[in-house]
Structure 1
Amino acid sequence: MIAEVFIELKKGVMDAEGEAVKKALRLLGFKKVKGVSSVKVYRIEIDTNSKEEAEREVREMCEKLLANPVIQNYRIVLKE
């Protein structure tokens, strides 16, 4: 099973990378760009056929290592 974990900054937290990309895009002539936000994606292969077990393990990975709960949200998408 494959788990895709999307990690992004919470609303109100400054996204310096997104702002830098937005500025660069505008300097390149893309004047209609209103905002850019960065999202980190992890693809994790898990040796299980149980969606419940995979989600439980990946959630634990997020809480222990992958995401900072103070400033980040995460979303898990499981694929068989």
Structure 2
Amino acid sequence: MTYTVQVKVMPLKELLDPQGKAVMGGLENLGIKEVADVRIGKNITLQIEAADEAAAKAIAETAAKKLLANQVMEYFEISVN
């Protein structure tokens, strides 16, 4: 069976997010002062052939740990659709 898996990769909250800070500055320059914080990450969609949802999630987790996320600087969340 084919599963669509979303892997959301974001910088750790403890670390500076330079892209987020740049966007925050741009929003302020545009007069949009209501935004309190910006964090920029990645959304990765995988089509995974697996026996069941748990196996698809396990494959995505392995991919995220080994390639998609730098666990020193980023965390990831997986959802299977």
Structure 1 consecutive aligned stretches of length 4 or more whose deviation exceeds 4 Å: none
CA–CA separation in structure 1 for the residues paired with 2:61 and 2:67 = 10
- Number of aligned residues: 79
Superposition TM-score, scaled by structure 2 size: 0.92
Superposition TM-score, scaled by structure 1 size: 0.93
Return 5+ residue gaps in structure 1 as ranges: none
- Superposition map of 1:1-80 within 5 A: 1-79=3-81
| Residue 48 of structure 1, CA deviation | 2.4
RMSD over aligned CA atoms reads: 0.9
Matched-pair identity in %? 28
Return 5+ residue gaps in structure 2 as ranges: none
| Residue 11 of structure 1, CA deviation | 1.5
Residue aligned with 1:5, SS: strand
